Every structure is written in C-alpha cells, then in structure tokens.
Amino acid sequence: MNQKKYMTLGIVGFFLLIAIIMFSNATFLTIEAGERGVLFRTFGDGLDKSNIYQPGFHMVAPWNTMYVYDVREAQLEEEMEVLSSNGLNIKVDVTARIRPNYGQIGDIHETFGREYMDRLVRPEVRSAVRQVIGKFTPEELYSTKRDEVQTLITEELTNVLAKNYIDLRAILIRDIELPEKVRTAIEEKLEAEQGSLKYEYILTREKQEAERRLIEAQAKADANRILSASLSDKILQDKGIEATLELSKSPNSKVIVVGGSDNGGLPLILGGGN
C-alpha cells in the first residue's frame, strides 16, 4: 500500500514539476492595439491560421511561437524610372497606402511572412506603375493624363493585392519628372497652344461684334424704310393738326395759320410771345 501510495505521489509530483517548468518558461506577451497575432504550434498542426489573436494579454507555451503583425495602415514610398510609350525614360515618385486584412494574417504569414511589404507590395507597385506609364506619352503624363494614370494604377493594384489579402487604400503620384529638354519643349508647345486659343478667342469676339453691328444697322435701315413708306401726305397733315391742337392749348400768345397752300396744308406759327 505504501509503495503504491508513493508511486501515485511520484506521478503527481512529476506532472506538477512539468507544469511548473512549463509555466515558468512560458512566454507572456501583450498584443497592442492595431496588432494581431497568429500562433505556430510546434507539436500541433503547425500554423493556426483560423485563430487570430486579438489585442490584449496572452500566454504562449515555450515550444510555440506567436507572430505579431501590425495591421494598421502602412505607407510605401517608391521612386523609380520607367519608360513612356515612346521609350523615353521618366522618373516617377509614387506612394501606396495599404493595410493587411485583419482576418487573414495567417495566410499572409504562410505565403509572404512579415516581410510582405518587400516581398509582395513593392514588386506589385513597381510592376503596375511600369505597365500603366508605358501606355502614355511624356506630354500626356505631364499635362492631361495624370489623374487617369493614377486611376489605372489603382485599379491594377487593387485586384492583385486583394487576391493576396492586402487592402489597397490609395495610390498617390507625388511627382512625374521628365528630362529637362523634353519638359521645356512641352511647356513651349503648351504655351503656343494657349496663345493660339487666345487669338482664336479674340477673333471670334471681333467677328461676333461685327455681326452684331451689322444686324443692328440692318434693323435700323429696315425700320427707316418701313417708316418712310408709311409717311403719306394725309398722315403728315393729321400729325400737323395734332401738333396745332397741342399748341393752341399753350398759354403763350401766338398766331397760327392753318391750311397754307405752300406747305401742304400744315399749320404755320407766325409769331408769339409771353
């Protein structure tokens, strides 16, 4: 009985010792806000991709490893040289804002590891920029197509990164630098085009003003012709009588002769005074 009792105590003591050793060597860690963790179980199924550890305090067995990822939005700045559609070398300064997918840290770790920015994002950004820039001429990149280039790069990268558990937040083209001679030539051309457009505008304004004056003169001529055609002797006499009646109402003394033969029957004012 005593022997069996001692054996039982020995076994219990052994497991207690193992437990003490395990907890004394256990790793205690805190996952901060904006971080997630994925656990690799050495004596289990390996990488536990289905269980993503949230921010807080965690205890990890000494034979397991917790990989902690910063899942906050990150920024990649890339300066590179690319070729335009006509083979000209162009310097491009691009910023990519990305964020790893919270729930798929395990997949990211298994495929790319914590260096996913250099292994995945940077090469894809460079590839997309080269592919899109190569469709445009230097003049288009310098003047009219910059926003379109940015949109195309965004569309290209969004699909690729999403398949690899990365959310693309934005692509920003900070600068497109052309060779000095090319940039000067483009600026001179644009300046000449602006001057030509300004000259065309002035000519258009002058033409419109001339047409307006011509229309106005034509309208006056038509009005005078119509008025002249409508002024018969009878109308003039009626107008003269109306004027005589108005004059007769005036308090000023006057002598009015109506119906003179030399003036077509119109009234004549011979004199007057106060």
**Using CA atoms, how far apart are residues 60 and 38, in angstroms rounded to an integer?**
11
Task: Work out the mean pLDDT of the chain and round it to a whole number.
Answer: 77
- pLDDT tens for 192-204 read 556 666 656 666 7
Cα–Cα distance for residue pair 265/241, rounded to 1 Å = 9
Residue 264 and residue 189 share a domain: no
List the domain range (segments joined by +) for residue 48.
2-69
One domain for residues 134 and 118? yes
| Domain shared by 169 and 265, yes or no | no
Count of Cβ atoms closer than 10 Å to residue 141 Cβ: 24
64 with 90, same domain: the answer is: no
Residues in the chain: 274
Asked if residue 185 belongs to a domain, the reply is yes
How far is the C-alpha of 49 from the C-alpha of 34, rounded, in Å? Answer: 18
The CA distance from 82 to 177, in Å, is 11
Tally the domains of the chain: 4
- 21 phi and psi, to 5 degrees? -60, -40
What is the pLDDT averaged over residues 134-160? Answer: 84
Same domain for 112 and 18, yes or no, is no
Whether 229 is covered by a domain: the verdict is: no
pTM of the model: 0.58
Same domain, 82 and 115: yes
* Mean pLDDT, rounded, for 242-255: 62
pLDDT, tens digit (0-9, with 9 covering 90-100), for 80-119? 888 887 777 888 899 999 999 988 999 999 999 999 999 9
141 and 161, same domain (yes or no) = yes
- For residues 78 and 174, state if they share a domain: yes
How far apart CA 25 and CA 198 sit, in angstroms, is: 81
- pLDDT one-digit tens code per residue, 176-191: 887 666 656 655 665 6
Q: Are residues 64 and 124 in the same domain?
A: no
Over range 219-241, report the average pLDDT.
66
Question: Same domain, yes or no, for 171 and 188?
Answer: no
Q: Is it the case that residue 214 has pLDDT exceeding 70?
A: yes
Can you give the pLDDT at residue 237?
Answer: 63
What SS3 string covers 61-83?
Answer: CCCCEEEEEECCCEEEEEEEEEE
